[in-house]
Amino acid sequence: MKVNTMKSNKNSTQQLLRNDGIPFDASLFEEININRSAVERRASTLSGRRSVKKQWQAAWLLKAISCIDLTTLAGDDTPSNVQRLCAKAKSPVRLDILEAMGMQDENIHVGAVCVYHNFIKEAVKGLQGSSIPVAAVSTGFPAGNIPLKERIRQIEISVTAGAKEIDIVVSRDLIIQSDWKTLYNEVAACRKACGDAHMKTILATGEISTYTKVAKASWVSMMAGSDFIKTSTGKEPVNATLPVSLVMIRTIREYYELTGYKVGFKPAGGISKAKQAVNWLVLIKEELGNDWLTPDLFRFGASSLLGDIERQLEHFVTGRYSAAFRHPMA
């Protein structure tokens, strides 16, 4: 029952030209006007289709695992919780399931572990011996309502502590007021503070009133040097949706066509089911192509998604669904 359509993470990574950003130029995005009904109609075609099944579904789900930022951002996090999460990140699927699929030697692991700053060192310790990076939320996450100097300092401290990826939040008031130059300057300052650490810029789209502003904020964030643009903190009333993802993905495509820089995309918040994960992967494949179907350019921000994926893989192997409690820390 070998699933031979999935390659290990070590074979799927690419050598990417990092997005250095470009000078601010409002003329590149000021005429954008998003047709909401058209976007939502296109997005609805994904969830309305029949799902892929059998070994093809299993292959898509293994791909999804490799693109998960396994996340814990709870108020009751403890060092032991983070250690357990790191163990799950390194071995996200039970060995017996992988053996039944012929995938036990493929080095399946998640894309990153995402934690608050005070758990970075614990996560680095827990991931020792693996290639999995630690991602840290920063800049006054989730609201971002602190002075820019403090946000910069948070980034610098997180990088010093060992974070290889920094998830920043933007000032939503700047987007609401269409103060694009100030937004550009703030994101560019954060990117400079990140140094070699890759920066994911969170737009918190659930707090942005129109798709047009989402598209413009995406453009500004990429122009300022973001390595990824990300939908949500996971703390908003509305988080990642397919329509808002479509808007952001198309700005990524347009930015690539203009500059040659490939910017990554991360939907986060509310993605907890395996079928949802496949929908997002299909959206990426159809809109951006196979180059973006790697952890270098696509991530899910998720905490409970992995548990449902593992249940679906066990069903593929055994024909039976297991109880959720049999898949801890997912």
Q: What does the angle CA 122 – CA 85 – CA 321 come to, to the nearest 5 degrees? A: 175
Pick the catalytic residue from 63, 266, 296, 308: 266
Annotated catalytic, 230?
yes
Spatial distance between the Cα atoms of 31 and 232, rounded to a whole number of angstroms: 25
Q: How far apart are the first and last CA of the chain?
A: 25
Residue 136: phi and psi, rounded to 5, are: -125, 135
Q: Find out whether 155 and 190 touch, Cβ atoms under 8 Å.
A: yes
Spatial distance between the Cα atoms of 235 and 238, rounded to a whole number of angstroms: 8
Spatial distance between the Cα atoms of 252 and 221, rounded to a whole number of angstroms: 11
Annotated catalytic, 77?
no
Can you name the residues that pair with 68 across neighbouring β-strands? 300
Burial of 32 (0-12, 13-18, 19+ CB in 10 A): middle
Pick the catalytic residue from 63, 200, 216, 230: 230
Annotated catalytic, 216?
no
Pick the catalytic residue from 167, 227, 296, 308: 167
Spatial distance between the Cα atoms of 131 and 11, rounded to a whole number of angstroms: 13
Amino acid at 38: A
Q: Find out whether 318 and 96 touch, Cβ atoms under 8 Å.
A: no
Annotated active-site positions, please? 167, 230, 266
